[in-house]
Amino acid sequence: MVTIRCVEKRQKSFSLAVKHVLASLFRIPGNILSGTLIDSTCVLWREDCGNKGACAQYDNRLYRVAVMSLSAAMSAASMFMFFIVLYLLVRQQKRQGQAEIHHRSGSATKDNIQLQKVEAYTHYNQTFQPTE
């Protein structure tokens, strides 16, 4: 929603494409980090021909703490970014509101001046007509 609302109409498709590319790029390290974190909770590795294989047993308590910590850290990072974007949007709305108020007051003054000029011109150029 933020990507669509904060970008000019002519740049929306480009911004969505950039967002998709960045999400894809950050997804790869995220998967590696998750796998490494899960592997760190392994207590017994299988061995095939002297090579380390898949994990045979995880420490359940440590696994739970690792997965929940990763989830909490990602949620905290997401909320932090959300509040940054919210702050920037509110600031932008205030600036636009102030600019609009300033623009309205300036245009209203210009309109009043133009109207006064027209009224003065018509009043000055009116011909006198006697009443009966």
Kindly tell me if the per-residue pLDDT of 4 is higher than 80. Answer: no
Distance CA 53, CA 112 (A): 83
pLDDT in tens, 80-99: 999 998 898 888 888 887 77
Report the percent of the chain where pLDDT is more than 90. Answer: 20
Q: Is 19 exposed, middle or buried (0-12, 13-18, 19+ CB in 10 A)?
A: middle
- DSSP assignment of 102-113, as one string? HHHHHHHHHHHH
pTM: 0.56
58 has which bridge partners?
42
What is the pLDDT, as a whole number, of residue 60?
92
pLDDT interval class at 68 (50, 70, 90): very high
Distance CA 15, CA 18 (A): 5
What is the pLDDT, as a whole number, of residue 62?
94
Sequence-distant (≥ 6) Cβ neighbours of residue 50 within 8 angstroms: none
pLDDT interval class at 111 (50, 70, 90): low
Kindly tell me if the per-residue pLDDT of 69 is higher than 60. Answer: yes
What's the average model confidence in pLDDT over 36-46? 90
- Total H helices, total E strands in the chain: 3, 2
